[in-house]
Amino acid sequence: MKESLFASAFKRFKSNMSSYIAVGVFCGLFFILVSTLSFIDGIVVVFAVPLLILPVLFASHVSCYLLEMGQPISPAAFFHYYSGFYRPQFRSSFRVLISFLKSLAVYFSIMTVAGIAMFIIFQNHYGSTFTTAVNDLLKQYLNGISYEEVMDILKENNGVLLTYINFVSAIPVPFAITAFMYFVSFSSISVYYRINVNNGAPSLLRLGIAHAYAKSRFSMRKDWLRLNWPLLALPIILGISSGLICVFAIKKYSFLTPSFILGTLFPLIFFLPFYFPNMEVLYHRYEEEFKEGNQKAIEIILTRIQSSIELSEEEKRNLEESFKNDEEEKE
């Protein structure tokens, strides 16, 4: 009987339990540490994602994966893998830009719904005080006012309008972060294939990986969800819980967004030790699809070259043989 994905992943976790726990907990704590910058300014965290968070996540993927090849994890090796995130071979491993744009769409979609819902709640609770403040702000904004004047209007009436804006801008945060984690994680299955192809041309790699995802996206997503559903459920649950604590216990609404961010990232400490072996098993399940995708990419490039350059039959055979030899060397 074929072993289930979950059983394979747990067996892998047990084989190097201490290393997976060490890397996973370190990675989760680092994310939380970086997220505390949101108490200074939320935009700082946005810039920290590609500069700090994703390279650490990448190094964690590589470190854990190379355990099965007998390569121990050391601080020097981890830093080497960290810098490898910026190598051409690994660019677009996480599809950062498209993942960010999709997450941004999630953020603004939920913010629109939250804005309408919170408007009704504030209107019922504060009555004309709130609606008058909104109308005044809109009128003043259309007439053209400075940032300082906007802030003065927001702080009027005990800051009721500022509180509304804090709620509306903060509520979508756990959903957008969780969406970003999903998009990045699903794309990161290709990291392991890139590790195994040491000298592959980046364009060829990307084309081959795109074909692998196009062929197996549905089943790959099902298997990802089967193994990693806590990565979607726990951050949202803990993120919302953290926001509720901020509202009802701390009662400092300017801390809503940082509270949501910290609460959303907190469960990673507990799940990441299992997440890395999950992703490794998931890659091995679809390893052949990635190899087939690379072969398909070679065929496409050969066709393009042959159609754009007049080659003799012997030259075409030599060119095709050269690609095949390169592919065999990579494997």
- What are the tens digits of pLDDT across the range 140-186? 777 777 667 777 777 777 778 889 999 999 999 999 999 999 999 99
∠ Cα 291 207 87 (to 5°): 90
In a domain, 255, yes or no: yes
Closest CA to 23 of 269, 295, 294, 326: 269
154 in the same domain as 13: no
Side chain identity, residue 328: E
What's the rounded Cα separation, in Å, for the pair 187 and 95? 7
191 in the same domain as 104: no
* pTM given for the model: 0.88
Number of structural domains the chain divides into: 2
217 in the same domain as 206: yes
Give the domain extent around 123.
96-171
201 in the same domain as 116: no
What's the rounded Cα separation, in Å, for the pair 88 and 194? 11
In a domain, 245, yes or no: yes
Exposed, middle or buried, 250 (CB in 10 Å: 0-12/13-18/19+)?
exposed
Which residue, 154, 171, 188, sits at the end of a domain?
171
**Token output for 229:** 């559903």
216 in the same domain as 80: yes
What's the rounded Cα separation, in Å, for the pair 221 and 131? 45
Helix 268-285, helix 5-15: angle, nearest 10: 120
213 in the same domain as 310: yes
CA atoms within 13 A on the CB side of 258: 16
Band (18; pLDDT cuts 50, 70, 90): very high
What's the rounded Cα separation, in Å, for the pair 331 and 328? 5
Which residue, 171, 206, 224, sits at the end of a domain?
171
148 in the same domain as 186: no
Side chain identity, residue 94: F
- Say if residues 172 and 100 touch (Cβ distance below 8 Å): no
In a domain, 91, yes or no: no
In a domain, 48, yes or no: yes
326 in the same domain as 289: yes
Residue 310 has pLDDT above 70, yes or no: no
In a domain, 65, yes or no: yes
| Neighbouring C-beta atoms of residue 216, cutoff 10 Å | 20
Which residue, 133, 152, 171, sits at the end of a domain?
171
256 in the same domain as 109: no
113 in the same domain as 80: no
Per-residue pLDDT reduced to its tens digit, 239-278:
999 999 999 998 888 899 999 999 999 999 999 999 999 9
226 in the same domain as 197: yes
Question: Nearest 10 degrees: CA dihedral of 163, 165, 170, 175?
Answer: 140
In a domain, 254, yes or no: yes
